[in-house]
């Protein structure tokens, strides 16, 4: 893994007047908050900067912070480098803990989830390679959480989730459930979700989901 750059200064993402539209372009230094999963994500390198090769983020998780759900990236590899605290992760069937300077690699098509396994704040950097639509997916999920439009685990309503999951099917999928079964379910659910007005991308109607310094 190449040397990691210093943390960029936070910036505010431009407020978008409409509730549903294409996600605003993420810029280096932008920070998004997820109040449900207790995650604060800063983008250090974006897809635009790397020509789509990768996205590099720094994530801070409060005690009890956790990713919304176990998942699989069919075409992406994630490399985690812990800077502070204890990162708990289940990668495939193996449960591990990583501390400062430890590096974990999650290969494509391997089910995984992570959580803050310590009593203090967790800080790690993660390289997602290739970038694909990682930025748009994160902006959508974090913004829904910030607007109170997810459940207690940080997941959107079923029909809205069907629209998002169908659009991002090559970015993220469920573990265990066969690919064909997921695709068939989304083929039924996504059109219903769209008929209800849900779109693949979401931005808040009022205040931006971006955090201030």
What average pLDDT does range 167-182 have in this prediction?
95
Q: Is the pLDDT of residue 206 over 60?
A: no
User: What is the number of domains present in the chain?
Assistant: 1
pTM of the model: 0.81
- Alpha-carbon distance of 126 to 150, in angstroms, equals 24
Tokens of 108: 């494509």
Tokens of 154: 């940080």
Which pLDDT tens digit goes with each residue over 21-73?
Answer: 344 578 999 999 999 999 999 999 999 999 999 999 999 999 989 998 899 99
Which pLDDT tens digit goes with each residue over 146-156?
Answer: 999 999 999 99
What average pLDDT does range 169-194 have in this prediction?
96
> What average pLDDT is seen over the chain?
87
Instruction: Answer yes or no: is 29 within a domain.
Output: no
Instruction: Answer yes or no: is 78 within a domain.
Output: yes
Q: Is the pLDDT of residue 208 over 70?
A: no
What average pLDDT does range 148-177 have in this prediction?
95
Instruction: Answer yes or no: is 148 within a domain.
Output: no
Q: Is the pLDDT of residue 212 over 70?
A: no
Q: How confident is the model at residue 213 (pLDDT cuts 50, 70, 90)?
A: very low
Tokens of 39: 């995650």
One-letter-per-residue 3-state SS of the chain? CCCCCCCCCCECCCCCCCCCCCCCCCCCCEEEEECCCCEEEEEEECHHHHCCCCEEEEEEECCCCECCCCEECCCCEEEEEEEECCEEEEECCEEEEECCCCEEEECCCCCEEEEECCCCCEEEEEEEECCCCHHHHHHHHHHHHHCCCECCCCCECHHHHHHHHHHCCCCCECCCCCHHHHHHHHHHHHHHHHHCCCCCCCCCCCCCCECCC
Instruction: Answer yes or no: is 101 within a domain.
Output: yes
- Alpha-carbon distance of 93 to 172, in angstroms, equals 19
Instruction: Answer yes or no: is 211 within a domain.
Output: no
Percentage, residues of the chain above pLDDT 90: 81
| Cis bond before residue 130 (omega within 30° of 0) | yes
Instruction: Answer yes or no: is 5 within a domain.
Output: no
What average pLDDT does range 183-197 have in this prediction?
96
Instruction: Answer yes or no: is 7 within a domain.
Output: no
CATH number of the structural domain spanning residue 42 = 2.60.120.10
Instruction: Answer yes or no: is 68 within a domain.
Output: yes
pLDDT at position 25: 79
pLDDT at position 68: 83
pLDDT at position 205: 56
Residue-range definition of the domain harbouring residue 71: 34-132
């Amino acid at each position: 893994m190449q040397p990691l750059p210093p943390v960029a200064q936070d910036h505010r993402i431009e407020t978008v007047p409409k509730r549903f539209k294409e996600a605003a372009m993420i810029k280096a230094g932008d920070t998004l908050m997820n109040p449900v999963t207790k995650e604060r994500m800063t983008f250090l390198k974006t897809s635009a900067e790397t020509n789509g090769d990768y996205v590099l983020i720094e994530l801070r998780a409060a005690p009890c912070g956790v990713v919304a759900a176990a998942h699989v990236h069919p075409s992406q590899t994630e490399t985690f480098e812990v800077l502070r605290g204890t990162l708990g992760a289940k990668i495939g069937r193996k449960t591990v803990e990583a501390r400062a300077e430890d590096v974990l690699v999650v290969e494509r098509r391997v089910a995984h989830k992570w959580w803050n396994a310590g009593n203090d704040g967790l800080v790690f950097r993660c390289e997602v390679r290739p970038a694909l639509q990682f930025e748009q997916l994160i902006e959508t999920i974090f913004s829904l959480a910030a607007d109170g439009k997810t459940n207690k685990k940080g997941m959107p309503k079923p029909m809205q989730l069907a629209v998002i999951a169908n659009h991002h099917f090559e970015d993220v999928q469920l573990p265990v459930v066969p690919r064909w079964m997921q695709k068939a379910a989304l083929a039924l659910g996504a059109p219903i979700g769209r008929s209800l007005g849900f779109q693949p991308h979401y931005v808040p109607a009022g205040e931006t989901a971006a955090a201030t310094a």
